[in-house]
Amino acid sequence: MSSPPPPGYYVPAVLFFKENEDLDIPAIQAHVLRLAQGGVTGILVQGSNGEAQHLSHEERKEAIRLTRKTLDENGFQNTLVIAGTGAQSTRETKKLCIDAKEAGASHALVLTPSTWPPQMNVENIIRFHREVADASPIPTMIYNFPVVTAGQDLDSDLIATLAEHPNIVGTKLSCGNIGKLHRLTTRFSSSEFAVFAGRTDVFLQGLLSGSAGVIGALVNILPKLHGRLYQLHVEGKLEEAMVLQGKMGHADWATGRIGGIGGIKAIVSKNFGYGETFVRGPLKAIDAASLTSNKYYAILEELIALERSL
């Protein structure tokens, strides 16, 4: 029986590039190391923040390999590497799952194909995920993110049906739907099917509803604060946890308004001493120097200072 990732807080890591759009190896390693030192349970390579669809197969494999190698060489052998393996065909998705295993990933996170949304009915979605799970040499998870799958939003009944497959072991709910999350956590234990909130602005709400934790973009910037929030929940310090969750929710919203992936890279580059702001088109790079005049960045400054103090 395949096992899900353990409870905790995970990061869909951004991937740093040079100006010529080649992988920036030292910056990628520096980011992986800071996240691991921040206590993350695992690193998701090629989640939506990792620009998976902008990479060749070899680049995708190399990013996974580099992440695993960096963790292992710095004493973080127990930090998981999960690989995003979403693609537009079942055949390619299966191949990416095999690549992920070879490069050192323990689990695969699978987006539903989105090129032909009118044909992606419930039957077709179930067939796709089951065929991928049958062929994958590592356990798979369902990645529900309507924003990047042409609006497809898998409901709790569909996800629960897929959860019965012996090699489908969890889900990342970037839809932010707490009702859906709670329906799933009351049907399955985290030891058999792990349900993760996909956004920091519902991290604590998800934990209170029985989630296994979070896989959220903001962890790229504030890994230690996510660990702090998780620990407050474990210790039952709910009032203190709610105050921090409120601040993190504002920070999550602000990061998206600054510019999504480009914004995250600019914030990391400005504050943590590594990485450039280059993205692959059609994404837009954000000038790190412009952050000081951005009203949304001001929301983040207090939490970045707190992150540095931990």
pLDDT digits (tens, 9 = 90+) for 169-210: 999 999 999 999 999 999 999 999 999 999 999 999 999 999
Mean pLDDT of 135-157: 95
Phi, psi of 80 (to 5 degrees): -70, 155
Alpha helices in the chain (DSSP H): 25-37, 57-73, 90-103, 122-135, 156-163, 178-185, 203-208, 223-234, 238-258, 260-272, 295-309
Burial class (CB in 10 A: 0-12, 13-18, 19+), 164: exposed
Mean pLDDT of 51-66: 96
Q: Are 42 and 10 in contact (CB under 8 A)?
A: yes
Given pLDDT bands bounded at 50, 70 and 90, which one contains residue 1? Answer: confident
Distance CA 236, CA 35 (A): 25
The pTM (predicted TM-score) of the whole model is: 0.97
Q: Give me the percent of the chain exceeding a pLDDT of 70.
A: 100
Distance CA 136, CA 91 (A): 11
215 is in an annotated binding site: yes
Helix axes 238-258, 295-309, angle to 10 degrees: 130
CATH number of 8-235: 3.20.20.70
Q: Which residues are catalytic?
A: 143, 172
Q: Which two tokens stand for residue 107?
A: 């689990």
Cα 104 to Cα 62, 107, 266, 267: the distances in Å are: 10, 9, 29, 29
Mean pLDDT of 117-121: 92
The predicted structure's pLDDT at residue 234: 98
DSSP code for 243: H
The predicted structure's pLDDT at residue 48: 87
Residue 59 has pLDDT above 90, yes or no: yes
Mean pLDDT of 222-230: 98
| pLDDT tens readout for residues 21-31 | 999 999 999 99
